[in-house]
Amino acid sequence: MKNIQHLIALPCIFLTLLSCGIYTVSPSALGNVKTIAIPLFDNQSTESGLREQLSDRLSQAFVTDNTLKVVPEQQADGILRGSVISYSREPYTYSKSEVVSEYKSVIGVKVEFVNRRSQKVIWEEANMSNWGTYDAVSETENDGKSRAIDKLVEDILNKTVKGW
């Protein structure tokens, strides 16, 4: 009986260890792209300051991620270009007395990632958006904008380096 348990346990342990391989992300779409430039985004919205915040946060995120090295445009294999195309603020939640308790800041962007050498578009999104909320009493609209930018940065980074 003990031998049968060992015979069953050994293959299970082996299969478990085998499934614990190293997970790496290397999307084939990146090909030989090892460096990236992130020029200042355009602003087609009526809200000032968003393009600078988004471009800066994207650069910081790519430096932290370290999958692609951030370099000047002339040295880059890939270029991440974009435009802030919309910004809106709208009520998100209301109190029992029908007073706004939270607002929602929504930022829309157009983004493309291009192989600089071949000029081929690796990926593009004509209308990528995300949002962040902020408390109407204890926070400011900038808090909502910042949360929306954080989510957009994560979306753009994942789409670029992980292909999601």
**Residues 43 and 9: beta-carbon distance below 8 Å:** no
**Residues 36 and 62: beta-carbon distance below 8 Å:** yes
In this structure, the number of other CB atoms found within 10 A of the CB of residue 32 comes to 9
Angle at alpha carbon of residue 123, lines to 34 and 58, rounded to 5°: 60
The residue ranges of DSSP E strands in the chain, in sequence order, are 35-37, 42-43, 69-70, 78-94, 100-115, 121-135
Residue type, 147: R
pLDDT band at 1 (very low <50, low <70, confident <90, very high): low
List of domains in the chain: 2-161 (3.30.160.150)
List pLDDT tens digits, range 91-146.
999 999 999 999 999 999 999 999 999 999 999 999 999 999 999 999 999 999 99
> What's the predicted TM-score (pTM) here?
0.81
